A = this chain, B = another copy of it.
Amino acid sequence: MPRKTKPYHHGDLYETLVNAGTALLKDEGLQHFTLRECARRAGVSHAAPKNHFASVEDLLCEIAARGFDQFVRELDAMANAAGSQTPDDRLIAMGRAYVAFARANSAIYLLMFRHSQAFAKSDHLQTAAQAAWMQLETAVRAVIGPQRTDAVVRASHVWALVHGIASLIIDGRLPPSADPAMVIEQSLSTLPAAIRGLGAT
């Protein structure tokens, strides 16, 4: 989804910078992400990005938005894969895909969930993140039934659990004696029953 027409000198610096930035993020992590290094990888001067992104934050927002796009696609593919027939199965399959994405793309995942007041300033990021949320809420509604009025709270529970699992694994905060695969499977298995029996509503 291109957002700028081809620039005069370079070819398509906007796309090149997004790609270079994504690669840099995967290579070095968010801590070492640098606009000047993006420019270097793109083969332009350090001031060139200013023509396409107002600031580093802007570039990071676009990378995060595309992360959400891919995230939604992968969860969709997993949830619709053979073997996920019941709503419960589909929800658990989505949970697995969620954690798998986070582990496979940890730097981008961290960026996607990083506190950022600039979040609200990017339309692409906002709509992409909302699409991810809607996807989850739909899966939750399928489990608890459409008559329930508190789907948002229940979906928040699911999101919190998978986000927590993914975060602890990525950041290496699980105790050494805890097998990540076991934690994932055991915790995800509680989800359908938990959101059905949640609270008093």
Contact = CB atoms under 8 A, between A and B. Distances in A.
Interface of A: 29, 106, 110, 113-116, 119, 129, 133, 150, 152-154, 156-157, 159-165, 167-168, 170-175, 177-179, 182-183, 185-187, 189-190, 193-194, 197-199
Contacts of A170: 115
A183 B160 contact: yes
B164 A114 contact: no
B187 A156 contact: yes
Contacts of A154: 186
Interface centre among A29, A114, A119, A183, by most B CB within 10 Å? A183
A168 B172 contact: no
A19 B194 CA distance: 42
A189 B162 CA distance: 17
Nearest to A164: B164
19 contacts: A29-B115, A114-B171, A115-B170, A150-B186, A156-B174, A156-B175, A157-B161, A157-B183, A157-B187, A157-B190, A159-B164, A160-B161, A160-B187, A161-B187, A163-B164, A167-B167, A186-B199, A190-B190, A194-B194
Contacts of A133: 175
A163 B175 CA distance: 14
A135 to B, nearest CB: 13
Contact of A164 (B160, B182, B183, B194): B160
A168 to B, nearest CB: 6
